[in-house]
Chain A
Amino acid sequence: MVKSLQGGTTTVSIFAGSSVIAEYDNGAAPGSPSREYIYNPAGGSTTGLLAMISGGATTYYHQDHLSVRLTTDANGNILSQEGHYPFGEAWYESGSGNKWFFTSYDRDSETGLDYALARYYNSRTGTFCSADPLAGHPDDPQSWNRYPYGRNDPIDITDPSGQGWLSWLLDIGIGAAVGWIAPEVLPSVFAWGGTTSTVFYEGAQIAQSSATFYAASAGTAAFGAGVGAEAKAATQPLGPQMPPTPTPTPASQNPQQTPKKNCPPKFANFFKQAPIFNDLAKQLNTKALFLMAQSSWETGWLGPHAQDLHMMFGMTNAGKNDLSYSSFQASANAYSKAYSPYVSNTSTMDQFTAGLKNVPPHGYNTANSNYYKNITDQQQYVKQHAADCGVTVN
């Protein structure tokens, strides 16, 4: 849910995923939305907007592969026509205004900026106003720049959520092609071929970095429809490299930060402890992001059991049952006391995990061979949920 104030009108927008489905002006009753939006579920949020119902009148949207070009009423009369240059600057516009001007973004009539869910987009410069909350991938240099729109390829690539061009995959289900590239059948096919692992890896890699894949897979939307979640699972773990960042900043201090539109209580509870993570990071001269990644992995985002025990890092007592503390602060203090020699003065995740590996005798975690990679990957989920919860962890 997003609340906005424009020209004296307060509008509350209700979202389903990245698509607005209803808007309420000036406190309209829940059963009487000012505008309702209808989508073609197979079309995704970019091209899937079909119609709007407002005051009993229906407006139909007609789009090309990028944006709305024409709106009509129920009798087929043209209400508006519009076009834009590749990066969204207005080319022509006639008739009653359509705020869905560029791709699926809601254009703010006062600032001219496009609301892209995770951040704002400026069509005049062709860049976002703030960095992509999703980090780039180390093997994909172009993704290191987190401000361009759609990898500077606005004709072929859309970014419905403002969270990296890859996010379009999730919306229209084409991403399932990624899930399809690395399903269970492949290992058996390639079992002795010597490339199974490569297939798994590159299956996700293609989705992450190749615009060629993007264009080629457009025709597979129907094939992949409905299983975008699998694509999300297959692609999310890539891109764990996070730039150094110290302190989460409340959204209220950052006007470009997304409001708390999708912050389940589980994550809200976790980020409530951000001040403790920040203090601990300062004390250890490390990054709050690293501590949050480790904590969320060890405690299931400070889940109910961790809440019961005020346990932030899964530390144990003799006999190996979890320790119990009087407060999360006490838990943080215990962590600092036990692990300060190993994780202090670390500015990269590699340094942080190297410190954990030095915990005697064989490291912080001796059973899970992928533990240090797990918490490295976990950074991106911390950042993603932090953005949803209005907390910045760069």
Chain B
Amino acid sequence: MRYKQCVIGLFCLGLLPGQVPLCGKARQTTAGRHWEETATETIWRGEYRNCDYGYYVLLPDHIIGHSSKAPNPNDGFSVDLEKSDSTLPTSDKARRNISAWNHYNAAELPTLKAIADNELRLDAGSKRDYHILSRSSVKMATLPAIMVKASYNAEETTVYEIKIIAYRPHGTNNLGDMVYVLSLVTNEASRAEDTITFNKILAGFRLTALPLGSCTNDRQ
């Protein structure tokens, strides 16, 4: 009985090999394309999907995700929080934004802590007056993750940042270790409001089985 419950649970979470999630929020979406290529980028409605890296992110109704246009890599997406429902191209310097990205653990760092330290080292090296406000262990979907809250200065304003860094070691089919990062960049005035949106997107982060061969980002 427990075995059956476990299988059903995995089925709902979309974690069975080769399976696309059918239960929960994902089931509320309709089949077909949820992305659109504009002249300069790819925009995502309802969800951002990355079959190659084995995850998708449910997007709240008023949120449009933006990513680079093919053939640039699909390494994540961004939301411009100052015009979150706009399909116009995002500014690469949007002061308030949410971004999610993925990469292989190509530096072969041995632990989640080492991966997070490396990420923070790069942040600290490029951001003025960078301060870490807190650092804690959290979960991103089912993955262990480290959440870092930090502040820094940009153009004479204080920027607040939340970064959640998750590590998916030894993926299914031995596809390699993967790293997922979800970040919020905001300011003092919008911090509370943007954090709510950020938490919604965090709650929509889902893992899927990693692909064998080609895969599609269309809804099944």
Contacts and interface: CB of A to CB of B under 8 A. Distances in A.
Interface stretch (B6-14, B16-24, B108-116, B192-200): B108-116
A91 B101 CA distance: 59
A316 B174 contact: no
Contact of A367 (B33, B52, B100): B100
- Interface size bucket, A side? 35 or more
B207 to A, nearest CB: 16
Contacts of A190: 132
Interface stretch (A41-49, A70-78, A194-202, A246-254): A194-202
B216 A319 contact: yes
A341 to B, nearest CB: 14
Nearest to A182: B117
A161 B216 CA distance: 46
A382 to B, nearest CB: 9
- Which of A182, A200, A367: most chain B Cβ within 10 A? A367
Contacts of A373: 122, 125-126
Contacts of B121: 200-201, 204, 237
B139 interface: no
Contacts of A364: 68, 72-73
Contacts of B133: 191-192
Nearest to A362: B92
Interface string B89-109: 110100000011101111111
Interface stretch (A97-105, A106-114, A120-128, A226-234): A226-234
Given A319-B216, A320-B50, A362-B90, A381 B108 contact: yes
A188 B75 contact: no
A269 to B, nearest CB: 12
Contacts of A377: 107, 122
Interface stretch (A7-15, A16-24, A291-299): A291-299
Interface residues of B, number: 75
Dominant SS among interface residues on chain B? mixed
A105 to B, nearest CB: 27
B113 A321 contact: no
B173 interface: yes
Contact of A232 (B50, B110, B214): B110
Contacts of A234: 114, 117
A321 B51 contact: yes
A194 B133 CA distance: 10
B119 A233 contact: no
A360 B124 contact: no
B193 to A, nearest CB: 22
B113 to A, nearest CB: 7
A317 to B, nearest CB: 6
A229 B110 contact: yes
A90 interface: no
A309 B213 contact: yes
Given A300-B106, A315-B70, A374-B103, 12 more contacts: A197-B125, A197-B130, A237-B118, A297-B106, A298-B104, A299-B104, A305-B52, A315-B72, A321-B215, A324-B213, A365-B76, A366-B72
Interface of A: 182-184, 187-188, 190-192, 194, 196-198, 200-201, 204, 229-230, 232-234, 236-237, 296-301, 303-305, 308-309, 313-324, 334, 338, 359-371, 373-374, 377-378, 381
